[in-house]
Structure 1
Amino acid sequence: MQDYRALKLLDRFEKVFSSFGVDYKIMRRLLQVKLTMDGRRVPTIFSENKKNKNKEDSNQFIKSLWIYVLFGLFMIPFLFIGNNLLFQMSFFYGIFTFFIMTTMISDFSSVLLDIRDRNILFPKPVDRKTMSTAKMVHVLIYLSFLTIAFVGIPLIVVLAKKGILFFLISVVNIILIDLLIVVLTALIYIFILRFFDGEKLKDIINYVQIGLSLMIMVGYQLLIRSFEFIDLTISLEPRWWQIFIFPMWYGANTEMILNGEFQLFYVIFTVLGILVPFLSIWTFMRLNSTFEQSLQKLAYHGNAKKRKRSKMGQALLRIICRSHEERAFFRFASSTMKNERDFKLKVYPSLGFSIVIPFIFIMNSYDTDLNHLSASKSYLTIYFSLIIIPTIMVLLKYSGKYKGAWIFRVVPINHLKPMFSGTIKAFILKLYLPVYLFLSALFIVLFGVSIVPDLVVVFLNACIYAVICFMILKKSIPFSESFVEYNQKSNGGVLFGLMLFVALFAGLHFASTFVSYGIYLYLIIAIIFLGVIWKVAFNITWEKILS
């Protein structure tokens, strides 16, 4: 096996690991195997390409880091906004935390919670603390690659423009943030594993991951609102809740060291920024053997609950889906979206964002003055809930159980239309509609009952938008491809283009409000257009799928 550079660098910290009771030689061997297996994990899209057979040892994660380099370039201007270092660096570290934390939740949580190697390692003389530490270091190695790609160029700019001291402080702060994110995530999982088990445990972990994603977005907004902008001057009035926004800890230590701000506020935040990561590491090292023992609970699958179908639900399903085939695919898609955890982990955070984003724009527009909100047209910000539709439409073709898709070739399906229409209806009614109804209820409280026709129009536009996304995106059998392939594909350009349709719908809706009874005319047009586009969109043949 290859002796990786990351492992040679890790050798310098052998005494540190040994002092915590970790068998370093075994941990190093485990990491070597893990890194080797990572390089051999070839996406499906490459496995069918003969030209790529000789590249199976190349790590596809490393190849995908260019997109983070691009994101990092957009962070450079934030390093030079105004003259307030606390604001500049808190904002910089806040963006960094957002990207690293979301990547940690979506891509690396599965590594921390992986139990597939237990059958091989448990009969061997391998300490559980060593196994758990190997997992943690495995994640940190990849996060270090991700971090270098993301902030490498901005740090070079910092070194050139602001000097060596600023550069060193930034490097130390970024390392501390990485450690804090990984260890805190692991500690949260330890806490959950301690109190739950079986199928409930797996659901709880899913919901926690979704909740963490939403907390990141809310925390990012709290970070921005901690500062006041008056006549282009940035000021901060300390509040007790700011202590929970840890990117500000590292902005505070930069301000304190470089500008000599030794106020109590800056001192407390600086101490927290240093103490909490190391305290978290110490806590994890004390509990990681418990963590490995608790992971065994994930191996228990439990008994699936059988729910009886209600007569009312069956009657509604017959109205929504006219044919037997369409009803079958509706049930299949509904069951998959409800029960498959990989799918929920990818999709549910987006649904949560669709609730948060409209209110973020409302609050940014009106700040704390909501007196004139009901008389405004800010209810059109609900269109921001539509921007997650293209992403979910792409995800409808992926599944953790994609190998079972061979059944579609065996089943005598004469037409593919019921397959696609049933799946899209399941997505709209089972995933999007509950979120939209909740969002609509909140908007009615804020804007009054008079916006109900507008909300109906927005939902019709959402249905039209879902169909348009289906027509433009590459066709594939629902839930028939691996999420590994999804991670290697870049759909950013297509998704961005599809989001322009949201602006078009919102613009037409806004224009209709200037015409007497315009919203009702728009409602009729939307119903007719949805009926027409629904009839023509799903006439797909097997030849088009296989091309």
Structure 2
Amino acid sequence: MKDIRTLKFLDKFSSLFQRAGVDYSTMRKILQVKLLMDGRRVPTVFNQGAQRKKKKADNEGNGFLKSLWMYAFFGLLTIPFIVLGDNYLFQMSIMFGFVMFIVMTSMIADFSSVLLDIRDKNILYTRPIDKKTISAAKMMHVFIYLFYLTASIVTIPLIVGLFRHGIVFFLLSIILIILMEAFILVLTALIYMLILKFFDGEKLKDIVNYVQIGLSFTIMIGYQVLGRSFEIINFHAVLTPKWWQVFIIPMWFAAPYEVALNGHFDSFYIIFSILAISVPIVAFFVYLRLVPTFEKNLQKLAVHSVAKEKKQSKFGKTIIQLVCSSKEEQAFFRFASIMMKNERDFKLKVYPSLGFAIIMPFIFLFNSLRDGGFSSISDGKGYLTIYSTMIFIPSVIMMLKFSGKYKGAWIYKTLPLGDLSPLFKGTLKAFLVRLYLPMYFIICILFVVIFGGRVIPDLILVLLISALYSVICFIILKKAIPFSESFEAVGQTESWKVFGLMIPIVIFAGLHYLSTLVGFGVYIYIVIMLIANLFLWRKSIRA
């Protein structure tokens, strides 16, 4: 079997695993098989196109490397914080906060399913292999890919930092990034471990999705708190130490730079530096000790409890009849609603984005709170930040064609339908009603509290624009029968389209702003959007 360079590098740390009670040679063989299989089936975050054709073995690695270009581009955004000045606590806190944000979101969206994978039980648990070794292999499998992901983000910035700040900065950054990776991985595993202890069966699977939304909230809010911990005075970032800053984790990993490069040995920097080094290491060994409990509780995911079938309420039936024009469309609406509710892989990838969509408008509002206060916000046009909730619409519409049960799509061919447009309309409307509307109404209630009843026409307008925008996304994105493709078929070409579909949001928001400058402009815009929706929903959604 072909050896892998990553494992050769990992061999240098074999003694650490052995001291932790892990059978390193067995773990290495498990990892070797997993990584070899990944060369044939790349994880979602690294996928290179829709169900690729077979490639030669020497070209398999190229697809993996090409998939990281997007994260390398994101990493370029951190270069100014590394180059400008030597206020390392501020600069590196922002840099580590940015990297942790990207890595944690990838961890939640793409690698949670690996940590919660129970398929190893069928093969490895029947062998005389210690459960701690199996779990360590699983964790290292994720860690290796997270390391590649992080390396693609930070490699160019660190090379720039090497020339700007020297070799000590470069080596210290490598050590701290490895510690950060270990901390993120273990923290995620420990959170899931806590959930597994108290829940089981189908309820557990639902709780996991809600926790992912909560983690999304936490990441976004934490990054905002980090930025507000510093005051900009005469173009210099000034920090006043406070006790609660100990919970801002990126500061832990920034403090060692102040100690090593600026010679600041204040207790504030020393405590944070100790936390940056000790917490990831201690958390790792704590996790290894709790592995048997984790693996035991992980089997709860295999429990398929039968939930009581709930009768559809009269209100629900009325909503379906209002939004769907035909019996076929109503049937597909119900089918898509059930799939979005019960498809765990779909929820793992889509639900976290709901958390971001809910909090994004308020982040933009809070950013302007420092400038003019609450009164200036309530009297202004900050309600236009609600357009940021539309950012996740293209990615969700793109995900509607994927399913973990995609092999059951043969049933579509048995349907007596000459035209599949009711299928597409019903699925799109189910997404808008079941996923988008609940989130949107929560934001609307809070916006009415903040801005008053004057914004209700504007909120109605944005809702109509969201419905129209969903049709535009459907037209531009690759058409496929809903829930008929494997998640492994997610492609980079579609990702480019998703980025391009941000442009219409800006255009719609700009037109909305201009309409507020004209008497009855918003109401005229509402009428135009009503007509446009009626036309596009009837004429543009075709198989």
TM-score, structure 1 as length reference: 0.94
1:359 to 358, 362, 365: 362
Are residues 1:309 and 2:312 paired? yes
Are residues 1:525 and 2:536 paired? no
Mean CA deviation greater in 201-210 or 280-289: 201-210
Taking the aligned partners of 2:500 and 2:405, their CA distance within structure 1 comes to 30
Taking the aligned partners of 1:520 and 1:69, their CA distance within structure 2 comes to 44
Unaligned 5+ runs, structure 1:
541-547
Q: Aligned residue for 1:479?
A: 483
2:174 to 155, 171, 176: 171
Taking the aligned partners of 2:204 and 2:513, their CA distance within structure 1 comes to 46
Mean CA deviation greater in 7-16 or 275-284: 7-16
Residue identity matched to 2:288: M
Q: Secondary structure at the match of 1:234?
A: strand
Q: What is the total number of aligned residue pairs between the two structures?
A: 538
Q: Aligned residue for 1:49?
A: 53
Q: Aligned residue for 1:451?
A: 455
Q: Aligned residue for 2:251?
A: 248
User: What does 1:356-395 align with in structure 2 at a 5 Å threshold?
Assistant: 356-367=359-370, 369-395=373-399
Taking the aligned partners of 1:485 and 1:465, their CA distance within structure 2 comes to 24
Q: Aligned residue for 1:465?
A: 469
Q: Aligned residue for 2:10?
A: 10
Q: Is the 8 A contact 1:330 1:422 kept in 2?
A: yes
Shift, 1:469, TM fit:
1.1
Q: Is the 8 A contact 1:40 1:59 kept in 2?
A: no
Shift, 1:71, TM fit:
2.1
Q: Aligned residue for 2:342?
A: 339
1:252-283 deviation digits (Å, cap 9, x = unpaired): 22112211222222121111111111110121
Mean CA deviation greater in 77-86 or 404-413: 77-86
Taking the aligned partners of 1:147 and 1:410, their CA distance within structure 2 comes to 46
Change (3 A) 1:266 1:356: same
Q: Is the 8 A contact 1:397 1:476 kept in 2?
A: yes
Are residues 1:205 and 2:208 paired? yes
User: What does 1:121-160 align with in structure 2 at a 5 Å threshold?
Assistant: 121-160=124-163
Q: Is the 8 A contact 1:396 1:479 kept in 2?
A: yes
Q: Secondary structure at the match of 2:237?
A: strand
Percent of aligned pairs sharing the same letter: 54
Residue identity matched to 1:32: Q
Residue identity matched to 1:226: S
Q: Aligned residue for 1:545?
A: none
Are residues 1:320 and 2:329 paired? no
Residue identity matched to 1:457: L
1:482-529 deviation digits (Å, cap 9, x = unpaired): 11111x434343222211111111111111112222222221221112
**Stretches of 4+ aligned residues off by more than 6 angstroms:** none
Taking the aligned partners of 1:133 and 1:501, their CA distance within structure 2 comes to 46
Q: Is the 8 A contact 1:44 1:482 kept in 2?
A: no
2:265 to 262, 267, 285: 262
Q: Is the 8 A contact 2:88 2:258 kept in 1?
A: yes
Q: Secondary structure at the match of 2:465?
A: helix
Taking the aligned partners of 1:70 and 1:105, their CA distance within structure 2 comes to 21
1:136-181 deviation digits (Å, cap 9, x = unpaired): 1111222222222221121111112211111111111111101101
Taking the aligned partners of 1:492 and 1:321, their CA distance within structure 2 comes to 30
Taking the aligned partners of 1:477 and 1:494, their CA distance within structure 2 comes to 18
Change (3 A) 1:116 1:244: same
Q: Is the 8 A contact 2:115 2:189 kept in 1?
A: yes
Shift, 1:297, TM fit:
1.1
Q: Aligned residue for 1:226?
A: 229
Shift, 1:428, TM fit:
0.8
Unaligned 5+ runs, structure 2:
none
Residue identity matched to 1:427: F
Between 1 and 2, higher relative CO (CA 8 Å, sep ≥ 6) is seen in 2
Q: Aligned residue for 2:27?
A: 27
Mean CA deviation greater in 497-506 or 418-427: 497-506
Residue identity matched to 1:478: P
Are residues 1:296 and 2:307 paired? no
Q: Aligned residue for 2:197?
A: 194
1:362-404 deviation digits (Å, cap 9, x = unpaired): 1111227112222111111111111111111111111111111
Q: Is the 8 A contact 1:380 1:506 kept in 2?
A: yes
Q: Aligned residue for 1:423?
A: 427
Q: Secondary structure at the match of 1:356?
A: helix
Change (3 A) 1:60 1:296: farther
Residue identity matched to 1:29: K
Residue identity matched to 2:425: S
Are residues 1:36 and 2:36 paired? yes
Q: Is the 8 A contact 1:31 1:134 kept in 2?
A: yes
Taking the aligned partners of 1:47 and 1:505, their CA distance within structure 2 comes to 35
Shift, 1:83, TM fit:
3.8
User: What does 1:482-501 align with in structure 2 at a 5 Å threshold?
Assistant: 482-486=486-490, 488-501=491-504
Are residues 1:68 and 2:80 paired? no
1:514 to 514, 517, 523: 517
Q: Aligned residue for 1:543?
A: none
Shift, 1:460, TM fit:
0.6
Q: Is the 8 A contact 1:159 1:167 kept in 2?
A: yes
Q: Is the 8 A contact 2:354 2:439 kept in 1?
A: yes
TM-score, structure 2 as length reference: 0.95
Taking the aligned partners of 1:86 and 1:533, their CA distance within structure 2 comes to 52
Q: Secondary structure at the match of 1:374?
A: helix
Taking the aligned partners of 2:387 and 2:50, their CA distance within structure 1 comes to 38
Taking the aligned partners of 1:308 and 1:56, their CA distance within structure 2 comes to 53
Change (3 A) 1:59 1:182: farther
Change (3 A) 1:223 1:480: same
Shift, 1:133, TM fit:
0.9
Q: Is the 8 A contact 1:39 1:60 kept in 2?
A: no
Q: Secondary structure at the match of 1:229?
A: strand
Q: Secondary structure at the match of 2:309?
A: coil
Residue identity matched to 1:480: S
